[in-house]
């Protein structure tokens, strides 16, 4: 009977290897080191293993002395462990020196000390082909320190950790050097983005292009193996007698052209493949030229920005291929007749399907077959009437799921019932946008009910039309406008941004005002609050650029909603209907532009930029012509015309010239 102690059992290779070990009739016990905080994770994973009753957790942490295992546990383990399998490590080419040393070098030293303390039969250490660094030529299983350069912290710490294992003499050892490990060749299962997976988002974007002949420079060779092969090979090699103090290369026996790997996944994605290679000499010269451009100011910043956008670390560009060819003759001799490396082209489609379903950082961007809004969950504030209600109806008619937000629950319920009666879906969330706790609870409830929020329409608002002269003792007007128009919208945005950023997708539509594009007398409270939201949006759009969250600002013209009823002169103004306004919002949700407006708004904005003095003079005349309403404390008598609902010739001409603007 054989017993094991395994570090990193909850990792990708660890899960597969422990499953094979537990399936052996000869296995007596498998102790698994696990951090106290990860015991629940181990419990969940163990449910998928055969004979899980043979698994015993040992609380520990490889970053601590003796791998964090208590002296009491060490005493119980002493003399009982045949094989220590050290899998726990930091597999990250982008990690810094300090982090890599702590996990890989210090961690290995602590596991060696633990193996010595428990008098283990053999230490099986998982290293990496990265120990070859920039060595050019054939790198055999007998080679180690050949004076090669180790370009990253990952290369250096994997080399140093293997050196520690090889140089200690207290415990027999075996070292395993896998190549780039990808998912399970049978199921596609993978636990993180690594290696060729960094190319997948780019390949996915290319899948929409026609399959035309494509050329690319020769990018050299790489080496990719599936995790089930690595686990099966280790399982067999660990169980064989007489292999102590040897190194095993768990690699593809033949170097794989990087372009060939790209093409295998491109075919799986339905993307164009590279049909012709530029000769090695020319290709190498082109790559060297590209590298030289890094010294041009701004080029590296631009390159890194593009790579971040597609989720690829810039350092990966320098390590797309291996200068070494890894010989695995000795390993294959031991595995012959039992374990063989599957061909990438036979399982690339399986890997791609699993990634697209589970790991694609941009998978949240995918919509249903009916169109851009099909299946989207879209929060709409102010959804009980006006633009919000009309938008909710349109969203639902196109397959979206509006999450209706407003203060009055019974009015929201009416909108929801209308949507459901038409065959759609909707949910109601009565919420006070001026209250932190109300917003927090409702957003948490939305995520609990629906699992995600794809988009947000900040439509709820308060319009106050009152001249500054009538506002000297009404500071609360400004507070009220800011409370809902600015702080309410920002409160909802801040509550949803962490979720959207994590999913690498989200779109936020903020309903601003045409008044922000010009000068709108009597709207100092309203327009100022909308202008504040405009500039918050501009800054947020920049900061969220790399997270896949986008913003649209709609400078909405005058719309005939309950919000404008107190101003009776608007009865004579040309306005958009709520349905027309909803079309602007829905188009913004579909195409996600930076800005949506009207020709009149653009004209007013341009006029103010080029002739601010003249614009002020015209706006002042409008201020004189259109009085404060009775509701605002004015006398409502038009300076030109026949009363509050009637416009004179001059007033009517100004209204037509600035169509949609609120005076």
Contact 461, 511 (CB under 8 A): yes
Contact 126, 87 (CB under 8 A): yes
- Is residue 296 classed exposed, middle or buried when 0-12, 13-18 and 19+ CB atoms within 10 A define those classes? exposed
Distance CA 113, CA 115 (A): 5
Question: What local confidence, expressed as pLDDT, does residue 643 receive?
Answer: 43
- Is residue 353 classed exposed, middle or buried when 0-12, 13-18 and 19+ CB atoms within 10 A define those classes? middle
pLDDT tens digits for range 271-283: 999 888 776 566 5
**Any idea what the Cα angle at residue 383 is, between residues 488 and 381, rounded to 5°?**
20
How many other CB atoms are found less than 10 A from the CB of residue 208? 8
Q: How confident is the model at residue 609 (pLDDT cuts 50, 70, 90)?
A: confident
pLDDT tens digits for range 323-346: 999 999 999 999 999 999 999 999
Looking at the predicted structure, is the pLDDT value of residue 286 above 60?
Answer: no
Most confident of 298-302, 571-575, 584-588, 645-649: 584-588
Question: What local confidence, expressed as pLDDT, does residue 212 receive?
Answer: 76
pTM for the full predicted model: 0.73
Tokens representing 551 are 């913003």
> For 234-243, 318-327, 383-392, 465-474, which range has the lowest pLDDT when averaged over its residues?
465-474
Contact 161, 104 (CB under 8 A): yes
* Tokens 């295998």 -> residue: 264
Question: What local confidence, expressed as pLDDT, does residue 145 receive?
Answer: 97
Distance CA 260, CA 320 (A): 13
Tokens representing 553 are 């600002």
**Which string of DSSP letters, residue by residue, matches 384-449?**
TSHHHHHHHHHHHHTT-EEEEEES-HHHHHHHHHHHHHTT---EEEE--TT-HHHHHHHHHHHHHH
Superfamily of domain 364-595, CATH level 4 = NAD(P)-binding Rossmann-like Domain (3.40.50.720)
Question: What local confidence, expressed as pLDDT, does residue 294 receive?
Answer: 58
The DSSP secondary-structure symbol of 183 reads -
User: Which residues participate in catalysis according to the annotation?
Assistant: 526
pLDDT tens digits for range 416-438: 999 999 999 999 999 999 999 99
Domain extent listing, the chain: 1-178, 364-595
* Tokens 């319009």 -> residue: 463
Largest Cα span, the chain: 107
What percentage of residues in the chain have a pLDDT greater than 90? 66
| Average pLDDT of the segment spanning 357-365 | 86
Contact 377, 427 (CB under 8 A): no
Q: How confident is the model at residue 214 (pLDDT cuts 50, 70, 90)?
A: confident
For residue 34, give the nearest of 50, 51, 18, 21 by alpha carbon: 18
Looking at the predicted structure, is the pLDDT value of residue 310 above 50?
Answer: yes
Decide whether 1-178 matches 364-595 in CATH topology: yes
Looking at the predicted structure, is the pLDDT value of residue 641 above 50?
Answer: no
| Average pLDDT of the segment spanning 152-174 | 97
How many other CB atoms are found less than 10 A from the CB of residue 473? 7
Q: How confident is the model at residue 590 (pLDDT cuts 50, 70, 90)?
A: very high
Q: How confident is the model at residue 562 (pLDDT cuts 50, 70, 90)?
A: low
Tokens representing 44 are 């969940």
How many other CB atoms are found less than 10 A from the CB of residue 485? 30
User: Residues with Cβ < 8 Å from 363, sequence gap 6 or more?
Assistant: 356, 357
Mean pLDDT computed over every residue of the chain? 88
Distance CA 99, CA 382 (A): 48
For residue 524, give the nearest of 645, 619, 613 by alpha carbon: 619
Q: How confident is the model at residue 162 (pLDDT cuts 50, 70, 90)?
A: very high
Question: What local confidence, expressed as pLDDT, does residue 642 receive?
Answer: 45
Looking at the predicted structure, is the pLDDT value of residue 383 above 90?
Answer: yes
Contact 90, 63 (CB under 8 A): no
- Return the CATH number of the domain spanning residue range 1-178: 3.40.50.720
Question: What local confidence, expressed as pLDDT, does residue 458 receive?
Answer: 98
Question: What local confidence, expressed as pLDDT, does residue 644 receive?
Answer: 45
pLDDT higher for 254 or 403?
403
How many other CB atoms are found less than 10 A from the CB of residue 608? 18
Q: How confident is the model at residue 42 (pLDDT cuts 50, 70, 90)?
A: very high
Question: What local confidence, expressed as pLDDT, does residue 563 receive?
Answer: 58
- Bridge-based pairing of strands 256-257 and 221-222 is antiparallel
Q: How confident is the model at residue 625 (pLDDT cuts 50, 70, 90)?
A: low
Question: What local confidence, expressed as pLDDT, does residue 223 receive?
Answer: 96
Question: What local confidence, expressed as pLDDT, does residue 616 receive?
Answer: 72
| Average pLDDT of the segment spanning 143-160 | 96
> For 12-26, 164-178, 262-276, which range has the lowest pLDDT when averaged over its residues?
262-276
* Tokens 């909108």 -> residue: 415
Residue 579 gets the label, from left (phi > 0), alpha (psi -120 to 50) or beta, of alpha
* Tokens 């009753």 -> residue: 53
């Amino acid at each position: 009977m054989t017993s094991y102690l395994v570090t990193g059992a909850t990792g990708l290779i660890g899960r597969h290897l422990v499953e094979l070990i537990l399936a052996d009739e000869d296995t007596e016990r498998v102790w698994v080191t696990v951090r106290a905080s990860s015991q629940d994770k181990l419990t969940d994973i163990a449910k998928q293993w055969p004979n899980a009753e043979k698994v015993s957790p040992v609380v520990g942490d490889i970053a601590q002395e003796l791998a964090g295992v208590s002296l009491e546990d060490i005493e119980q383990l002493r003399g009982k462990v045949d094989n220590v399998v050290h899998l726990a490590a930091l597999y990250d080419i982008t990690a810094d020196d300090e982090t890599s040393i702590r996990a890989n070098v210090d961690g290995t030293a602590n596991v060696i000390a633990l193996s010595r303390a428990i008098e283990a039969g053999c230490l099986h250490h998982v290293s990496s082909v990265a120990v070859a660094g920039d060595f050019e030529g054939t790198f055999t299983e007998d080679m180690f320190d050949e004076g090669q350069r180790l370009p990253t912290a990952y290369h250096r710490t994997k080399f140093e950790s293997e050196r520690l294992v090889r140089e200690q003499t207290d415990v027999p050892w075996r070292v395993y050097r896998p190549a780039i490990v990808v998912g399970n060749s049978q199921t596609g299962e993978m636990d993180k983005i690594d290696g060729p997976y960094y190319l997948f988002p780019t390949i996915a974007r290319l899948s929409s292009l026609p399959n035309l002949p494509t050329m690319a420079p020769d990018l050299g060779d790489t080496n990719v193996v599936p995790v089930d092969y690595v686990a099966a090979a280790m399982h067999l090699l660990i169980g064989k007698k007489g292999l102590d103090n040897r190194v095993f290369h768990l690699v593809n026996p033949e170097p794989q052209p990087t372009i060939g790997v790209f093409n295998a996944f491109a075919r799986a994605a339905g993307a164009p493949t590279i049909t012709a290679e530029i000769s090695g000499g020319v290709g190498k010269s082109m790559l060297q030229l590209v590298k030289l451009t890094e010294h041009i100011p701004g080029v590296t910043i631009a390159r890194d920005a593009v790579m971040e956008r597609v989720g690829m670390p810039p350092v990966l560009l320098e390590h797309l291929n291996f200068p070494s060819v890894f010989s695995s003759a000795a390993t294959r001799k031991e595995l012959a007749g039992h374990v063989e490396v599957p061909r990438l082209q036979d399982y690339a489609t399986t890997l791609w399907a699993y990634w697209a379903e589970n790991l694609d950082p941009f998978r949240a961007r995918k919509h249903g077959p009916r169109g851009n809004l099909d299946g989207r969950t879209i929060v709409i504030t102010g959804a009980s009437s006006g633009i919000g209600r009309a938008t909710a109806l349109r969203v639902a008619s196109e397959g979206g799921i509006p999450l209706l937000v407003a203060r009055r629950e019974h009015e929201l319920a009416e909108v929801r019932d209308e949507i459901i009666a038409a065959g759609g879906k909707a949910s109601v969330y009565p919420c006070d946008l001026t209250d932190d706790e109300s917003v927090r609870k409702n957003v948490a409830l939305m995520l609990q009910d629906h699992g995600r929020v794809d988009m947000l329409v900040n439509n709820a608002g308060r319009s106050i039309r009152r001249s500054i002269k009538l506002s000297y003792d009404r500071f609360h007007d400004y507070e009220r406008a800011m409370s809902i128009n600015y702080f309410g919208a920002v409160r909802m945005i801040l509550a949803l941004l962490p979720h959207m950023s994590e999913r690498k997708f989200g779109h936020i539509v903020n309903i601003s005002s045409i008044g922000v594009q010009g000068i709108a007398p009597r709207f100092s409270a309203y327009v100022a609050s909308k202008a504040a939201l405009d500039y918050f949006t501009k800054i947020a759009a920049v900061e969220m650029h790399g997270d896949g969250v986008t913003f649209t600002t709609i400078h909405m013209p005058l719309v005939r909603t309950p919000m404008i009823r107190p101003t009776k002169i608007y009865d004579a103004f040309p306005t958009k209907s709520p349905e027309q306004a909803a079309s602007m919002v829905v188009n913004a949700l579909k195409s996600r532009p930076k800005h949506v407006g009207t020709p009149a708004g653009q004209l007013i904005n341009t006029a103010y930029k080029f002739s601010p003095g003249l614009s002020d003079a015209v706006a002042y005349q409008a201020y004189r012509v259109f009085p404060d309403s009775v509701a605002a404390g004015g006398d409502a008598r038009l300076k030109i015309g026949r009363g509050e609902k009637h416009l004179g010739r001059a007033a009517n001409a100004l209204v037509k010239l600035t169509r949609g603007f609120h005076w």
